[in-house]
Amino acid sequence: MVDCRKTPSVSNCQMTIAGTHDEVLELAVLHAVTSHGHEDGPELRAGIEESMTPVDAAMA
């Protein structure tokens, strides 16, 4: 899952996305572009992948 609160350059966004790796990545990219004005690209996707955490760890 991705927790927007843990990603850099985010102001007051508390969205979390949970699902499979691919689902989370696609939705997080879309969210970052539409809600945060980021540009879609390898850099953004790499950053999102880095901020991903396993659901088990996040919910524990």
Orientation angle between helical segments 42-51 and 21-36, nearest 10 degrees: 120
| Nearest approach, Cβ of residue 51 and Zn ion (Å) | 11
Burial 13-36 (b: 16+ CB within 10 A, else e): eeebbeeeeeebbebbbebbeeee
At closest approach, how far in Å is the CB of 33 from Zn ion? 11
**Per-residue binder mask for Zn ion (CB under 5 A), 12-51, x = binder:** -x-x------------------------------------
Q: Which residue is nearest to Zn ion (CB)?
A: 13
Q: Summarize as ranges the residues that interact with Zn ion (CB under 5 A).
A: 4, 13, 15
